[in-house]
Structure 1
Amino acid sequence: MGLRNLPTILLLNAFGIGLFLSWFLPENHGFWFPIDSTIFHYFNQHLATSNSFLKLVAITNNRAFDTVSLLAMGGLFLYFFVKQDAAGKRWMIIMGIVMLLTAVLLNQSGRLLPVGRPSPTLTFTDINRVSELSGIPTKDASRDSFPGDHGLMLMIFAAFMLRYFTRKAFCIAVGYVIIFSLPRIMVGAHWFTDIYVGALSMACVGLSWWLLTPASDATINFINRSIPGKNRLQN
């Protein structure tokens, strides 16, 4: 599997590294900064002119709203889970655990990048802050926003859907990436490039070596054999 997928792995690595360097190397992030700035100011100006938009952004960036994204991912996972026999259900639970461990490790790896970047709301002056305008507790700032951890988690879920389930499930999960990462951009807690450069480059490089080689399968099967139960894999 690994050798067969090597060209794809190398292509994803080249894309991910190239994407990151296109942002990291140029002074003031080159052509990416005008894109980031335009997107932030577009949404930020509407916070003071549309009360309905302000409330939408405030609610979707409240910590409680994260439950919605978890339920959406859980619902897609459950769709496949209920179709499995006992052995399949056991395998899916273990796969889910491995997916969570992958998310933790990849997210922590992102903290090793030589980047310290405050969110747009802490970079620009004379801007609108959702927490101040709405009075609703919300995350509208971050002292270290790169790469976007929330977006990275969603991308990892999407990649696992493609690797272990169907392309349709992957497309739905990609929709989750867009829908559930957008509020962080609209509120100004993340730059556009925190997610679509930082998180995406991390996902392309890290997940290609994990999911397109025997590594993830071997880990799942090892845990499956190690945990007692009548439906475990036999050595």
Structure 2
Amino acid sequence: MDKDNRIQAAWRWPALLGLNLLAAAVLASWLLPATRALWDGADLWLFQSLNGSLGHSALWDGFWAVTSTRLSDALVGVLMLALMLHSRWVFRAGELRPALFTFLGLLLMLLVIRVLFNKLVGVLDWQHASPSTLVAGTYHLSGAFPELERLFELKDRSSRSFPGDHASVLLLWGLFMAQFSRGWKLAASLALVVLFMLPRLVAGAHWLVDVAVGGLFIALVSYAWGYCTPLAGHIARGLAWLCQPLWTLLQRLPLINRLLVVNPQRAA
């Protein structure tokens, strides 16, 4: 990636230190007895408020059931990718490929950090089950919509809900987009992150701390060590080199070759 490109992972010592300290503070706020009670209270209150809204309207219940499926997760991923690769959203035409490859590099960092953190969670016995399996009176979407559960696997329960893996990816995407967004586009990107995290909370697959502590910790550390060091940049350059033959092939395909990420010269 050239020096004029905004999207360059590089040593950013203040941000690297600040993001790691913030991640440590978030995790400590859940582990320390003085603030743990606040998290526990917020966990139960939010779950009862969100899940308690179910069971009164078939339309409302159906919306959250559909958005809690694996299929919905895939569609959210497509939308996130589409926004990232839309030349009129955040990145210019010439930045689309660097943005794509850099974010993929960050995802690889997240995968490694998530595996390591999950091992730490197991060793230190921080793991817990989701609220839908522990709180009496829970409204189970999988029971109310058995066909959705059978066809698409409705995500409303887990015996190991900490940290929120789904949330960590969304938060990482939000951090990356926030780096380059301003004004209403920044607000819209962050609002989408919150909206896409809500189904797991409404259905009871996750507590608030699974998202706001576990998921955020992983996202912050991944972003710090991926984008505030050259690591994601090295991965991005490697992916760009490997994908050169793919771009050549895609540029020959009708309709596909009209995408700016495939053919940036069309923006000229």
Pair 1:69 & 2:76 matched = yes
Task: Give the aligned partner of residue 137 of structure 2.
Answer: 126
| Amino acid paired to 2:200 | R
Task: Give the aligned partner of residue 84 of structure 1.
Answer: 93
User: In the aligned structure 2, how far is the partner of 1:46 from the partner of 1:119?
Assistant: 18
Change in 2 beyond 3 A, CA 1:119/1:80: same
What is the TM-score with the length of structure 1 in the denominator? 0.82
Deviation at 1:33, TM superposition (A): 0.6
User: In the aligned structure 1, how far is the partner of 2:158 from the partner of 2:119?
Assistant: 17
User: In the aligned structure 2, how far is the partner of 1:9 from the partner of 1:100?
Assistant: 17
Deviations 1:108-159 (A, max 9, x none): 2331232211000112123221111233312110111111111101111222
Deviation at 1:213, TM superposition (A): 2.0
| Amino acid paired to 1:110 | F
Task: Give the aligned partner of residue 215 of structure 1.
Answer: 231
Task: Give the aligned partner of residue 176 of structure 1.
Answer: 192
User: In the aligned structure 1, how far is the partner of 2:116 from the partner of 2:137?
Assistant: 34
Pair 1:157 & 2:157 matched = no
Q: Percent identity?
A: 27
1:102 pairs with one of 109, 112, 118: 109
Task: Give the aligned partner of residue 181 of structure 2.
Answer: 166
Q: Is the 8 A contact 1:40 1:120 kept in 2?
A: yes
1:116 pairs with one of 91, 103, 127: 127
Q: Residues 125-144 of structure 1 correspond to what in structure 2 (within 5 A)?
A: 125-135=136-146, 136-137=148-149, 138-144=154-160
User: In the aligned structure 1, how far is the partner of 2:116 from the partner of 2:187?
Assistant: 26
User: In the aligned structure 1, how far is the partner of 2:79 from the partner of 2:25?
Assistant: 32
| Amino acid paired to 1:126 | G
Q: How many residue pairs are counted as aligned between the two chains?
A: 226
What is the TM-score with the length of structure 2 in the denominator? 0.73
User: In the aligned structure 2, how far is the partner of 1:37 from the partner of 1:18?
Assistant: 22
Q: Residues 31-46 of structure 1 correspond to what in structure 2 (within 5 A)?
A: 31-46=38-53
Change in 2 beyond 3 A, CA 1:92/1:210: closer
| Amino acid paired to 1:198 | G
